Amino acid sequence: MKEKMGKQQTSAVKLDFAVPTKVGKYQLLDRIGSGTCGIVYRAYDAILSRDVALKVSQVGTLDQQTGRVPGAQKAFITETLSAGRLAHPNIVTVYDAGVDGPLNYIAMEYVEGVSLKKHGRGQTQLPAYRVVNIIASVCDAIDFSHKMGIVHRDIKPANIMVASDASVKLLDFGIAVSTSAEDVSGRQALGTPNYMSPEQVVGKDLGPRSDIYSLGAVMFEMLTGQQLFKAEEVKELFRAVIKDMAPPLRSIRPDLPKELELVVARCLSKNPRQRYASGAEMAAALRDVADKMAPPDLLTPELESWMSLIPQLKFFSGFSARKVARFTSVCNIVRYPAGSTVLSRDTIDNHLYVILEGVASTGDGSGLSAVLGPGDCFGESGFVRGDKSVLDIEVMTDIVALKVHSKTVQALPDADQLGHYQMVSNSIAKRTSNSDELLLDLAL
């Protein structure tokens, strides 16, 4: 079902229909969402022993008078065709598709996490720095889909998932269209009204810059806690999308940097040519802004209390205060008493540890190998490669350390990951050259 306004249709009305407990080879567990084109369940694939997200829709029949295929059936065909072309870490993976009696189904990667809908319209707002990085990841996703010739057309908070491991996934290509000229012109205006571009509202040709606008509208909402335009009727909302200028970001959030306001304004330009030409260009602009944003809102009070010391440690030598703060923001503070063992040989621990205070020793079973002090790290083999530890790490005096899991770092933007792994490499090299000096200092 779609709300109709003359020639325009939107995805404002959700479908609801009876679904059996098993569809295809999938056992349905619980309903997790619904939309214009289908209902989504968490389901179990007994053959591969894994949970999937299963979208089901009713099989449509051709209208003999008009020759039209129902919208839900078009969405099933569109999403199935798109799936084979969209293998990207920021796009949800489609495993399988088929028809079971009166139902179509698409089996997708089950993402444990929440959609940005939870953070929309002022609900539990995310820190601005986190929003910028999430949107940059979605930019990567749409840049890839556009290169594959696909415009999403329904970018909205509900279609952007933030997984429990902090990775970002773009969902639902059910109303996507090809960027070939014959495929995007003369179509009805499908989408979700609050996030549709001006050209999408009036049914003009759509290109990648339409998705750029929609993503800008999502970003505006995530940063301000309010939707870009509001109206009691969809007709009035469309009028605002076409004619009204977006409020300057800093008129609502004066604490945000001017550079971010300019990025949002460019995305929301009424003229598509004035927007970013690609998702990659928008992602680069956002990451440049993020690199200039200090993220104190990401630090817990305990982490904040150590920030006068942390940037001075040799582990962080050569890195900007903001890069140090970003690394610290994904860490936890841990403490170990003297005489305890933090790591043992032949065990796997995917965490990296950076000592803030105290002294520890490394041993390979044949005696003391090295002494580690503030600014040294350990656990590199498990953190970088997932290998077993080849050393015992014994605490000589009470230590305080930063602790971070490899998956947490892998979920960060590539530019941040590179810097963090460079920190690890630098620390290992420095430890090798300074280990004899540290042992001598300890002996004295």
Looking at residue 81, which CATH number applies to its domain?
Answer: 1.10.510.10
Who wins on pLDDT, 70 or 148?
148
Q: Is 324 helix (H, G, I), strand (E, B) or coil?
A: helix
For position 9, what pLDDT does the model report? 43
**250 and 306 together in one domain:** no
Least confident of 47-51, 153-157, 407-411: 407-411
Same domain for 371 and 259: no
Rg (CA), the chain: 26
pLDDT attached to residue 67: 41
| Residue 152 DSSP symbol | -
Amino acid at 427: S
pLDDT exceeds cutoff 60 at 274: yes
Same domain, 21 and 82: yes
* Residues 6 or more apart in contact with residue 430 via CB below 8 angstroms: 314, 317
Task: For residues 257 and 307, state if they share a domain.
Answer: no
Contacts of 271 (CB under 8 A, 6+ apart): none
61 with 31, same domain: the answer is yes
One domain for residues 354 and 213: no
Region of 92 on the Ramachandran plot (φ > 0 left; ψ -120 to 50 alpha; else beta): beta
Q: Which of 45, 140, 154, 392 is catalytic?
A: 154
User: Residue 223: pLDDT above 80?
Assistant: yes
- The domain tally of the chain equals 2
Report residue 150: phi and psi, to 5°: -125, 125
Amino acid at 334: V
CATH number assigned to the domain comprising residue 369: 2.60.120.10
Last residue of a domain, one of 292, 313, 346: 292
Instruction: Answer for the pair 335, 360: CB distance below 8 angstroms, yes or no.
Output: no
Q: Which pLDDT value is given to residue 11?
A: 43
Domain boundary (292, 318, 333) is at 292
Q: What pLDDT does 252 receive? A: 92
**Domain final residue, candidates 231, 258, 292:** 292
Same-domain check for residues 433 and 382:
yes
pLDDT of 322 reads 72
What distance in Å separates the CA atoms of residue 276 and residue 19, rounded to the nearest whole number? 42
* φ, ψ (nearest 5 deg) of residue 59: -65, 125
Same-domain status, 23 and 151: yes
Say whether 395 sits in a helix, a strand or coil.
strand
Are 274 and 313 part of one and the same domain?
no
Q: Supply 80's token pair.
A: 């199935």
Coil, strand, or helix at residue 435?
Answer: helix
The pLDDT of residue 339 is above 60: yes
* Total-model pTM: 0.64
Statement to judge: residues 281 and 303 lie in one domain = no
Residue 156 is part of which domain span? 3-292
Based on the fold, state whether residues 108 and 220 are members of the same structural domain: yes
Q: Are residues 355 and 408 in the same domain?
A: yes
pLDDT at residue number 62: 45
The verdict on whether 154 is a catalytic residue reads yes
Q: Could you tell me which residue, 139 or 370, shows the higher pLDDT?
A: 139
Q: Is the pLDDT of residue 136 over 80?
A: yes
